[in-house]
Chain A
Amino acid sequence: MYVLRRLPSLLATLFAVSLLTFLMTSLLPGDPALQILGAENATPEAIAAVRADLGLDDPLPVRYLHWIGDALTGDFGRSYRTNEPVSEAIIDRLPVTAEIGILAIIIALLVAIPVGMLSAYRAGTRTDKLISSTSFGLLAVPNFMVAIFLILIFAVWLGVLPATGWVNFTDNPVQNLRSALLPALSLAIAEMAVYTRLLRTDMIGTLQQDFVTMARVKGVSNRRILFRHALRPSSFSLMTVAGVQVGAIIGGSVVIETLFALPGVGRLLLEAVLVRDLLMVQGVALVIAVSYVVVNFTVDILYSYLDPRISHGRSAARV
């Protein structure tokens, strides 16, 4: 089966990611023991005691094996800085980042699909040009600027949404959505521009194909042609890029979660890096990498749904 055949390369990727994450964090300058103690308490004896306690004096390969061995059983250790279990911290925070990210992708697709189709259908007209230039404009605006504008409009002027903060879904679903909306929108803006551009290009190609002409000749309505016949074969680039863009969304969440003061994974990672909370950095980076790989693996599988001609058989494997 396709999934089984892909498994070894998937595992190899994850192994490489774990090794790289470990090496990169371990080789960062800045001693975690100093960060824990604070400069004024960092006598050589205290530093030595903390380093020994954390196992920082062991050779790198030993430390890696220790860490990855425990990680495989779900034990990522305890944070140097907060003393909370790393796995617990990630489980607490992943839903926040996931909700913002998924909401951002949904918003982006909801806008990009109709707009991209319209742009392709009206290719070369004034509508198309307006859409294109707006997309380029949105692409050029960094998400922190978008966030600041959105807060200004919706929180400060209109007072309809909170400027910052997070409410858990389990505490209050309505407030949860309200607190997620502006951050998701800030992430979605650039994404929707990318999606719109891609869909437009692919769809212009599709609309020139024989089967579309055939459908037109048979008198099928434009709406039906666009949605039933042309959308699916035009979605390949969109799907692929949406998968790859998950990385951009996770990266963006570092900034967005800081601006909106959300307790997500991005902010956890940022703070952990700054204070050399190595176990936390390694744990979070590994989880992010795994999610990224899994999402793109899922996209691969979805190809065969989009186009049954791709059976992930021999021909597709060569692609």
Chain B
Amino acid sequence: MRVHRRPMRGPWKRALASVGLVGLLLGTAACGGGGDDGNGDVEAGAQSETVEAGDPVEGGEITVGLEAETNSWLPGEGTFNQPGVNVAYALYDPLMHRTEDGAVEPYLAESMEPNADLSEWTLKLRPDVQFHDGTPLNAQALKTIFDEYLTRPGSNVAASVADVTSLDVVDDLTVVYRLKETNAAFPDNLVAAAGWPFSPTAAAAAGPDAGANPVGTGPFKFVSWQRDSRLELEKNENYWQEGLPHLDKITFRPIPDEDTRLSSLQSGDIDVMQSLRQSTVIKARELDGVTNFEHLGSNSGGSTMNVSRPPFDDVRVRQALAHAMDQEALIEVLGGAGVTPLQTQFFSPDSPYYSEKLEESYPEHNVEKAQELYDEYINDPDRSDGKPVGSPISFTFTCPPDPSLNELSQLYQAFFNVLGAEVELEQKEQAAWIQDMLARDYDMGCTRVGADRDPYIVFSQAFTEGPLNMTAFQSPEIDEQLEILRTTTDVEERKAAVEAIGEVLNENVPNTYSGGTLTVMAARDVVRNLDGWVFPDDTKGNGAASAQVMWGHVWTTE
């Protein structure tokens, strides 16, 4: 977590920066957030300056600007991206959550204990916790939610509970999750939507409208929702955690445009804003009276190659293309020059699974080396694409239509052209592009790589036989390490396994990286403690990671 506060220079520049005019006047992309913002003096890496939260203040209300609306607040139906998770952390409590060190510990749950071979997980609930409608949170509630919502056809959390053969009630406050096989990473699934209990009685009563009438156990209760405009929540007076929440009221407003969201923060329409865009992070740093709570997420920009298709089935081609890329130039096009470090692995430097060793082994920008590998392939009489010796490789590079991604794909094309490759650029809308990647019906293209989740979940999705393996890359060495990740909870052993997988990937480069996702919660200075949340036993939490805040712990001095 980085906290960044920066004195402002002139009101003109500040105002212009906030609405993106600096970029516009310099003739860069008007929307899509691309381009250098003219802030040549922005230092690399965020400067750390601790803002003292002080003592909690009770009462008051705040408005939070999010980058998108969420389709439904019902776990299993709602697509909870970063904006949605923020709301969920106000309405619901996660059964499990992540500590500062990346361990997964009980939050709403009182305890979570595995059996010896990690195939049965026993979860104990706290006594006397109630949903906002008065329904008690007990073992039967968890079972009903699991049986009737999380696993029903069409559930969008089905994958995270696919391992669970049954959820059984042991006593009033105890359930046991029985898994198909050993899984050390199982509790991580309960940090997200599958682990946010909601009142089964309220959901049943609301029927198809349950997604618009959320009832959880969280620090705030639902008041009203006008889609794409505002969601109003009020303090839960019966909250199970003594002394929380501090705020009386919290309003979430989806404001999709980056520049106008920033203007809204500046004009005082909102008190806090969320952004996942590097150029906005830079602009927010320029604002007076605003504190940036930044986090470098593990989800990185990058490219993916379909190794089931020639010429990408040959590691020389993949290595050649990786060496041909100048990551810094890619980041610059994405607006993150000077703030976003180069990504070299699935986990970012802000993640406990980050490895310095992998920093060294990722293919560096080296055109000579790239050319050598490329020439070796095209001059190989047995080259996999069946073309005559010496003729260039040719392929299509696909990206979703977005101004900054257009620029990005042209840059990729230029890197590959230098080697002699023939590259055709293609634009495909996100929905269609994802479908092609899942069907492995593509050559190479823009993608995002990695996630702040348990490495077993991340890597077993990406590099085993399953449908999410979009590169089609598999390796016995990765399988071996996945087995370790699946069967041990020992943090050091797991870190070593992640590093070993990273080495295989950096050697084989089924995908490449640009830079990690720099996320921010930019808040007016009166709003405090956005990253200071703690577990009920006072263990320090993971702050405002990925611009997701535990709102029950936040207060305002206004």
- Residues on A lying within 8 angstroms of B by beta carbon are 28-31, 34-43, 46, 49-50, 53, 78, 81-84, 89, 92-93, 144-145, 147-148, 151-152, 155-157, 159, 162-166, 168, 258-263, 267-268, 271, 274-276
**Chain A interface: which of B42-50, B148-156, B331-339?**
B148-156
- Whether the Cβ atoms of B263 and A83 lie closer than 8 Å is no
Closest 7 CB pairs of A and B: A30-B431, A29-B432, A263-B229, A263-B228, A261-B255, A49-B153, A40-B159
List, in ascending order, chain B residues with CB within 8 A of A89's CB. Answer: 227
Instruction: Give the shortest distance, in Å, between A135 (CB) and chain B (any CB).
Output: 23
Given pairs A259-B257, A261-B255, A274-B430, 12 additional interface contacts (CB within 8 A) = A31-B435, A40-B461, A41-B156, A78-B208, A82-B227, A148-B24, A151-B19, A162-B264, A164-B253, A166-B226, A262-B229, A276-B431
- Are A155's CB and B71's CB within 8 A? no
Cβ–Cβ contact A263 & B226, under 8 A: yes
B19 and A148 form a contact (CB under 8 A): yes
- Within the complex, the shortest CB–CB distance from A284 to chain B, in Å, comes to 13
Q: Quote the shortest CB–CB distance from A47 to chain B (angstroms).
A: 10
In the assembly, what is the distance between CA of A150 and CA of B228, in Å?
Answer: 22
Interface check B79, CB cutoff 8 A: yes
A contact residues around B19 at 8 Å (CB): 148, 151-152, 156
**Residues of A close to B352: CB separation below 8 A:** none
Pair A39/B260 contact, Cβ less than 8 Å? no
How long is the Cα–Cα vector from A263 to B229 in the complex, in angstroms?
5
Contacts of A31 in B (CB 8 A): 431, 435
Are the C-beta atoms of B468 and A39 separated by less than 8 Å? yes
Max count, chain A CB within 10 A of own CB: residue among B212, B229, B438: B229
Segment 9-62 of B: residues with Cβ below 8 Å from A:
15-16, 18-21, 24, 30-31
- Binary contact readout B223-259 vs A (1 if CB under 8 angstroms, 0 otherwise): 0001111100000000000000000000001111101
Instruction: Note all chain B residues with C-beta closer than 8 A to A42.
Output: 438, 467
Contact of B20 among A28, A148, A163, A164 (CB under 8 A): A148
Asked whether, in the complex, the Cβ of B212 is within 8 Å of the Cβ of A84, the reply is: yes
Q: Which residues of A contact B24 (CB under 8 A)?
A: 145, 148
- What are 17 A-B contacts with C-beta separation under 8 Å? A41-B157, A43-B467, A46-B158, A53-B153, A53-B154, A83-B209, A83-B211, A148-B21, A148-B259, A151-B19, A162-B267, A164-B269, A165-B253, A261-B253, A261-B260, A274-B431, A275-B431
Knowing A144-B30, A164-B264, say if A38 contacts B227 (CB, 8 Å): no
Is B429 part of the binding interface, using a Cβ–Cβ cutoff of 8 Å? Answer: yes
How does the 8 Å CB contact mask read for B263-303 relative to A, with 1 for contact and 0 for none? 11011110000000000000000000000000000000000
- B261 lies within 8 A of chain A by Cβ: yes
Nearest CB in chain B: distance from A67 CB, A: 19
Residue numbers in B under 8 Å from A165 (CB-CB): 229-230, 253, 255, 264, 269
Question: Is B531 in the interface zone, CB < 8 Å from A?
Answer: no
- Interface residues in B, total, Cβ within 8 A: 57
Q: Which residues of A contact B168 (CB under 8 A)?
A: none
Question: Are A39 and B256 within 8 A (Cβ)?
Answer: no
Chain B residues contacting A36 (CB-CB under 8 Å) are: 154, 156
Q: Is B77 an interface residue (CB 8 A)?
A: yes
Is B269 a contact of A155 with CB atoms below 8 Å?
yes
A172 to chain B, nearest CB (A): 13
Distance between B225 CB and nearest chain A CB, rounded to angstroms: 11
Known interface pairs A30-B429, A34-B434. Does A50 touch B229 (Cβ–Cβ under 8 Å)? Answer: no
Residue in B157, B209, B269 whose beta carbon sits within 8 Å of that of A163 in the complex: B269
- How far apart are B427's CB and chain A's nearest CB, in angstroms? 12
Q: What is the minimal beta-carbon distance from A208 to any residue of chain B, in angstroms?
A: 44
Residue B93 lies at the interface, judged by CB distance under 8 Å to chain A: no
**With A53-B153, A145-B30, A148-B20 in contact, is A41–B158 under 8 Å at CB?**
yes
Contacts of B268 in A (CB 8 A): 159
Provide the bound-state CA to CA distance between A42 and B208, in Å.
22
List, in ascending order, chain A residues with CB within 8 A of B154's CB: 36-37, 46, 49-50, 53
**Out of A151, A260, A263, which one reaches B227, CB within 8 Å?**
A263
A155 adjacent to B267 (CB under 8 Å): yes
Which residues does chain B contribute within 8 Å of A155, judged by CB atoms? 263-264, 267, 269
A24 to B428 alpha-carbon distance, docked (Å):
17
Q: A53–B461 Cα gap in the complex (Å)?
A: 27
CA distance A10 to B72 in the complex (A): 38
Most chain A C-beta atoms within 10 Å of own C-beta, residue among B211, B230, B261, B431: B431
Q: How far is the CB of A267 from chain B (nearest CB, A)?
A: 6
The CA of A145 and the CA of B259, in the complex, are separated in Å by 11
Contact A83–B208 (Cβ < 8 Å): yes
- Report the nearest B residue to A270, measured CB to CB: B256
In-complex Cβ contact of B269 among A162, A262, A275 (8 A): A162
Q: From A78, A82, A156, name the one whose CB has the most chain B CB atoms within 10 angstroms.
A: A156
B48-87 CB contact bits vs A (8 Å, 1 = yes)?
0000000000000000010001011000010100000000
Query: Smallest CB–CB gap between B181 and chain A, Å?
Result: 18
* B458 shortest CB reach to chain A, Å: 11
| Bound-state Cα–Cα, A152 to B268, Å | 13
Q: Using Cβ atoms and an 8 Å threshold, which residues of chain A touch B434? A: 30, 34, 39
Asked whether A261 lies within 8 Å of B267 as measured between CB atoms, the reply is: no
Q: Name the A residues within 8 Å of B155 (CB-CB).
A: 41
Nearest CB of B to A153, in Å? 10
Kindly state the separation between the CA atoms of A268 and B227 in the bound complex, as whole angstroms: 9
Q: How many angstroms between the C-alpha atoms of A28 and B208 in the bound complex?
A: 27
State which of A81, A157, A258 has its C-beta within 8 Å of the C-beta of B71. A81
Q: Is the CB of A156 within 8 A of B267?
A: yes
In whole angstroms, how far apart are the Cα atoms of A263 and B209 in the complex?
A: 19
Say yes or no: A29 contacts B15, CB within 8 Å: no
Within 8 A of A (CB), among B416-457: 428-432, 434-435, 438
Distance (Å) between the CB of B268 and the closest chain A CB?
Answer: 7
CB closest chain-B residue, reference A148:
B19
Q: Which residues of A contact B158 (CB under 8 A)?
A: 37, 41, 43, 46
**What chain A residues lie within 8 Å of B157 (beta carbons)?**
41
| Cβ of A254 to closest chain B Cβ, rounded Å | 11
Cα separation A36 to B434 with both chains bound (whole Å): 13
* Chain A, Cβ-Cβ closest to B158: A41
- CA separation between A144 and B77, bound complex, in Å? 34
Closest A residue to B228 using CB positions: A263
Assembly CA distance A92 to B225 (angstroms): 12
CA distance A28 to B430 in the complex (A): 12
A65, chain B: closest CB distance, angstroms: 24
